[in-house]
Amino acid sequence: MPGSVIAAKLLKGFAVTLGIAAAALVIGFLLAVPCGLILNRPQGGFALLYWPVRTIVDFIRGTPVLIQLLFAWMGLGLSPLVAAIGTLGINSMAYMAEVIRAGLMSVPRGQVQAGRALALSRWQVFRYVVWPQAFRVAIPPLMNSVVALTKDTALVAVISVAEVIREAQAIISVTFEPRKYYFLVAIMFFVVTFPLMKFAGIMETRIRRKGYAHD
């Protein structure tokens, strides 16, 4: 197999991998924000939603991603691509919801009371006082969730999605060089995830220096 063909197949597969990761990340974050709010307020307006959300989040976090993928694909009859994006999106939601909950909990109660004392509505207090502080604290663990999600996309090869692992397996079936091409795939993942890990570390250090994180 010509080298140009191999490179094209790997790059095409990796583009699919990154596309799945990006779509799942958007879905996961959009779902995680309201879920994190609900988990942070077991009493009050979210009381009826707390236990259903808590049960779903705990169940997803407590079961393997591979089983979730197979269930979505074979159990629910979804197409491989839809099953991959949906499963990884919901899985990332469960982890990011806990991160957002922790970020919201890090905001001192006095900040909320001060906002209310200034005659701000609940929405204004959340938007201008609570969320900026909570999101700043949540950035490092959210970046770690992005890294974990990107690596988890390797599992979607099991349900026949033509991402980079699947393409590498097709190449290996012709070249019989598994060590070479699996190593190349590992390098491709590392090139994407390592800067994200370093960025998370830098952000965490800056947050601690500025006193936003509370040990």
Name all domains of the chain by residue range, CATH numbers in brackets. Answer: 3-210 (1.10.3720.10)
Encoding tokens for residue 60? 């997803």
According to the model, what pLDDT value does residue 215 have?
43
According to the model, what pLDDT value does residue 200 have?
85
Q: Which among 183, 103, 104, 106 is positioned nearest to 143, based on CA atoms?
A: 103
Mark 172-205 as b/e (b = at least 16 C-beta within 10 Å): eeeeeeeeebeebbeebbeebbeeeeeebeebbe
According to the model, what pLDDT value does residue 155 have?
94
pLDDT per residue rounded down to tens, the chain (215 residues): 788 899 999 999 999 999 999 999 999 999 999 999 999 987 666 788 999 999 999 999 999 999 999 999 999 999 999 999 999 999 999 999 999 999 999 888 888 888 888 888 888 998 988 998 899 889 989 999 999 999 999 999 999 898 999 999 999 999 999 999 999 999 999 999 999 999 888 887 887 776 555 54
